[in-house]
Amino acid sequence: MSGGENTSMESPVQQPAAEESLPRIENATLIIPFNSPERYHYWKISGDRLTIWQILTELNAPPEVRANYERDYSK
């Protein structure tokens, strides 16, 4: 096979589309871009979404970052 061929044997793991951005923590603040995958849009009512706590856990947020959200969001 040459290097430029696209085969059905490629990994089935879905990567974010090039235009999508992933959530991150900056200056102890959770940043969730609007162009992030829908599962991170905890503020939307419908769909299969993560909670803010699940997102912080996924990002390995330190306790001081989690504390920033405890008074505004109930677990």
Q: What is the pLDDT of residue 11?
A: 46
Give residue 25's pLDDT. 96
By DSSP bridging, strand 24-26 and strand 29-31 are antiparallel
Nearest residue to 60 (alpha-carbon basis) of 20, 35, 23: 23
What pTM was computed for the model?
Answer: 0.68
Report the chain's terminal Cα–Cα distance, integer Å: 52
Q: State residue 40's pLDDT score.
A: 95
Question: Which DSSP category does 39 fall into?
Answer: G
What pLDDT score does 72 carry?
74
Model confidence pLDDT, tens digit, residues 2-53: 555 555 455 455 555 668 899 999 999 999 999 999 999 998 988 889 999 9
Residues ≥6 apart with Cβ < 8 Å to 48:
39
